[in-house]
Structure 1
Amino acid sequence: MSKRDDMNNVSSSLTETYEEHTLKIDGEKVAAAGLSTAQISQAINPNKKATVLTTIKKDDKDIDVEVQSSVKAPKEFDDVLKQTIKTPTGEAIALSKLVKVENGTTANSVSRSQGKVYATVSGKVTDKDISKASSAVQAKVDKIDTPKSVTIDTGGVTEDMNSAFSQLGLAMVAAIALVYLILVITFGEGLAPLAILFSLPVTVIGSIIALLIANEPIDVSTMIGLLMLIGIVVTNAIVLVDRIIHKEHEGLEMREAIIEAGATRLRPILMTALATIGALIPLAIGAEGSGLISKGLGITVIGGLISSTALTLVIVPLMYELLSKLLKKKRNVIVDD
């Protein structure tokens, strides 16, 4: 992380460490000396409790009489290894002959969360494309070979973004399902609403191309823009399909109804799209103070509107006619004499 140009202030809770020495008791040597593991631990324990010999009374109070060792706790690690332990035969053996020393380092503090010990590595993303930096860091993290008992999780802005993306993704799916349900109820059938929904993929393509041209990242604001486009684009498609169905009811053949609807609905669809695009241009330009939130949203909606407006007049009628033929839909045509 510290080597990346788009990140700074990288720090870790493990930056400040101190030396740690682990003493592992040599079972064979301890057993040969006639000692036990408990005796070794007790001998080197710096927090030895004083031995209470008896209790006396003074001023109607019980006072313990304790015997404390005059041996002071070692100040250096070498002094620990020089400590001697007496065997049952009275022989004094240095601790260094009974243990193996493993040197290492440990954190100067231990943090716990939900009963688990954890350490943190944090950094500040300086680039506006936070998702790109997060993905690059995550790719490096995935290559780390960690023990089974160790897990690596992301937090901070990355966690918030992932949560927001998940929520907005679910919101988009729910919005599409709700729009389809409303259209089915309105049109009284499932064919026309299905043809209308085919305008949405074209919208996404236009939005992505616009973001690439503007060199804008896909973030929360762009996802909100896509969510807005579902309602805007579907409205234009509804106007077109409703006109087609209306003309079919008047007695026109499907192809003739499509051509007539495209010609008569072209102007209102273009006017709606141009008015919306014009209103979003200030957001897409993104002034110094407001660009952080609104620029991506504006570009997303403008790109989606341009592509959907240009192709809705082609894709939606085409899918309507294709689905009608595939499903062999029978219509009751009302002919006005």
Structure 2
Amino acid sequence: MLAARWIKRPEPGEGGESGEKSGGHSHGSDSKSGKFWQKIDGAYTFMLKLSMRHRWAVVLICVLTVASIVPLYNYVGMAFLPDEDESLYQINLRGPQGTSLSATQSILDRIARDVRAELPGVKSTLVLAGFGRGRGPNVGFINVSLAPVKERELSQAEMINRTRAIARKYSNKDYQVSVSASSSIAGSIGLGRGGSGVGYFIAGPDMTRLNEYANILVEKMKADPAFRDPDSSVEVGTPEIRVAIDRTKAADLGVRAGDVAQALNIMAAGQIVSSYSEGSNQYDVVVRADERFRRDRSNFNLFTVASTTGGTVGLDRVVKLEEGLAPSTISRLNRLRQVTVGASLPPNASESDALAKLEQYVKELNLPAEYVTGVTGQSKELQKAYESFMLAFLLSFVFMYLVLAAQFESFIHPITILLTLPLAVPFALLSTALAGQTLNIFSALGILLLFGIVKKNAILQIDHTNSLRAKGMNRYDAIIQANRDRLRPILMTTLALVAGMIPLTLGTGAGAATNRSIGILVLGGQSLCLLLTLLAVPVFYSLFDDAGETKFFRSIGEGLGKMRDAITRPFSAAFSSKFSKKEDGSKPSDIGDDDLVEGGRRA
């Protein structure tokens, strides 16, 4: 309806005939749109003819463009998720072992009070002591809720930086305070609500050496500005009493190690020895040392253990007590003890670059062979996502080739189309770099979308070229005319796509960072690569068409054609027989392929 109202009918002789002068379009040359289009068409025709005269120069430009993917990718880097402003972040506190719950609560309250007083835009704070990593009385965290993005002047990243300045007043050798962004997406896939960061684990048999390695890594990360709030999972400081059995003396006295362990278990933890029933309820009877005897190690000599020779022996005669410090929790990986080192990253920082630095620090430790290392948490998900997308890209090329080969009935033209897809990647990376962003799982989806648009444009160009050649036009004229005819629809779809990406790029509010990571990549990538792909497709088409005329490729084509005929002939014969039976109801006779062809011609 709008086209019928807006587009004027051309006067006789103004256009309407497809030709090189008008570019195959029926807009009058006197109209403003016609004059504007003639300038675009003339400029494109000039560049197209120039490219066809210097085909290998275009190939060289394409090769250099594809080669720029490596430095651009290294500059941009990768992140698992974009830095989304969710108006929520977390302050974590960890104190020394033995800190009371009330002391932890007091420090958290003071930090929360300073945050509310010094930072504009803080909506509320939620203080939880005794919860967090380790769930002990010495740990806790503060959930800081911010006002909506439109109601505050500072972004979430700026609020976090100011909060770190407040946290430094409370951070010392005893207390560690860290600040991390909140990510609901990471929480929904089981990575916790922490924001972007890196994590690395070291596993081995000796916990003491693991603690040393972790401390070295943390110190190196603190000196590197690429990391924020580095920390390890080791919490050495829990007092404990180690019991060492003197096995020689125990053997002389007839005391078994198992009996010693059982006696210690009864003394400290207790043991169920019986049960009794009262009404419908049944209760366990637990034997355990009284609390006043368990708290004082001087009472240890009052406990005895049974001897195989008869009688009892005092525990202090067969064991030695040693006081020391130990981690509150011990994590294991494949029955090996492990420690985890992690840190937050600055806004829009590359997780891949930070992870590479951390891996370099680990290599400098020169770990023994019995120690194993690896990424964990969000860093592990980043590696898995990278591998999955590389596989997706590879499979997408394979499936596109199969579909295009069936569509064009050619094994060469699909290669022409697929060669244009890598040309879009450098421009996508360039637009991402200019916007100060990193690649993530959402922008990777944008690359797949970009592939689809570039492939569609190439199909339009090649399909129309083949149509004109089938009508008797020579190859050069068909290439020029077909690409001029398809320039307008390609520009229309490109402008429509770019216009659709502008709201995603300029949008604010919830989910803006996610939308922006897709919008910037698609908008910049398609806009910047358009001219190169419009010139590269006809050049590649002519080069591969020349290659297809060589003896080598003709023999390959004939062999593949015979293979195709051998595969499809049984199906064609079966279909023809079934069709003949339905027509006359008689039993189909043996009909050869030549008879079928001749019959089709007579029909």
TM-score (norm 2): 0.43
Matched, 1:20 2:240: yes
Structure 2 counterpart of 1:75, which letter?
A: R
Cα distance, 1:69–1:178 mapped onto 2, change above 3 Å: closer
Partner of 2:504: 283
Query: Closer, same or farther in 2 for the Cα pair 1:96/1:301, shift >3 Å?
Result: farther
Query: Per-residue deviation at 1:319?
Result: 2.0
Alpha-carbon separation, structure 2, partners of 1:40 and 1:273:
80
Residue in 2 that maps onto 1:63: none
Secondary structure in structure 2 of the residue aligned to 1:266:
helix
In 2: Cα distance, 1:285 partner to 1:69 partner: 69
| Letter of the 2:427 counterpart | G
TM-score normalized by the length of structure 1: 0.70
SS in 2 for 1:73: helix
Residue matched to 2:376: 154
Query: Which amino acid counterpart does residue 406 of structure 2 have in structure 1?
Result: I
Corresponding residue of 1:269: 490
* Partner SS, residue 22 of structure 1: strand
Q: Distance in 1 between matches of 2:494 and 2:291?
A: 89
**Equivalent residue letter for 1:295:** R
- Name the counterpart of 1:58: none
**Does residue 426 of structure 2 align to residue 205 of structure 1?**
yes
Give the Cα separation in 1 of the matches to 2:541 and 2:290: 97
**Which residue in 1 is equivalent to 2:457?**
236
**More displaced stretch, 82-91 vs 139-148:** 82-91
Q: Is the 8 A contact 1:229 1:305 kept in 2?
A: yes
For residue 251 of structure 1, give the secondary structure of its aligned residue in structure 2.
coil
Change over 3 Å in CA distance of 1:291–1:115 after alignment to 2: same
Paired position in structure 2 for 1:258: 479
Contact 2:355 2:379 in 1 (8 A): no
The worse-fitting range, judged by mean Cα deviation, of 290-299 and 163-172 is 163-172
Structure-2 separation of matches of 1:172 and 1:280: 22
1:85 to partner: Cα distance: 7.8
Deviations 1:20-68 (A, max 9, x none): 232232333444556543454466551677999xxxxxxxxxxxxxx99
Among 71, 75, 80, the alignment partner of 2:300 is 80
Once residues 131 and 94 of structure 1 are traced to their aligned partners in structure 2, the CA distance between those partners, rounded to angstroms, is 55
Alpha-carbon spacing, 1:90–1:314, altered in 2? closer, same or farther (3 Å): same
Partners in 1 of 2:468 and 2:291 — Cα distance?
106
Pairing partner for 1:222 from 436, 443, 452: 443
Paired position in structure 1 for 2:548:
327
- Mapped pair 1:249 → 2:470: yes
Q: What is the rounded CA distance, in whole Å, between the counterparts of 2:466 and 2:413 in structure 1? A: 9
The change in CA–CA distance for 1:44 and 1:234 in structure 2 (over 3 A counts) is closer
Same amino acid, percent of matched pairs? 26
Offset at residue 232 of structure 1 (A): 0.9
Per-residue deviation at 1:215?
Answer: 1.3
The DSSP-based 3-state class of the residue aligned with 2:518 is: helix
Which amino acid in structure 1 is aligned with residue 243 of structure 2?
L
Amino acid at match of 1:26: D
**Which runs of 5 or more residues in structure 2 are unaligned?**
1-217, 275-286, 558-603
Provide the residue aligned with 2:538 in structure 1: 317
Assess if the C-alpha contact under 8 Å between 2:416 and 2:541 holds in 1.
yes
On the 8 A contact 2:302/2:314 being kept in 1, the answer is no
Q: Closer, same or farther in 2 for the Cα pair 1:238/1:80, shift >3 Å?
A: same
Q: How many angstroms apart in 2 are the aligned matches of 1:89 and 1:279?
A: 90
Pick closer, same or farther for the CA change 1:27–1:204 going to 2, 3 Å: same
Q: Secondary structure at the match of 1:104?
A: strand
CA distance in 2, matches of 1:99, 1:93: 12
Q: CA deviation at 1:216?
A: 1.0
Number of residue-to-residue matches in the alignment: 315
For 1:15 and 1:131, locate their aligned partners in 2 and report how far apart those are by CA, in whole Å: 26
2:347 partner SS:
coil
Does residue 37 (structure 1) correspond to residue 238 (structure 2)? The answer is no
Distance in 2, matches of 1:91 and 1:189, equals 93
The match for 1:196 among 396, 417, 422 is 417
CA apart distance, 1:211: 0.9
Q: Is the 8 A contact 1:205 1:307 kept in 2?
A: no
Give 5+ residue unaligned stretches, structure 1: 53-66, 332-337
Q: CA RMSD in A?
A: 4.6
**Structure 1 Cα separation of the partners of residues 289 and 484 of structure 2:** 104
Deviation for aligned residue 1:265: 2.8
Give the AA of the match of 2:487.
L
- Is the 1:51–1:68 Cα contact (8 Å) retained in structure 2? no
Q: Deviations over 1:185-216 (max 9, x none)?
A: 22121211210111100011110111111111
* Amino acid in the other structure paired with 1:208: L
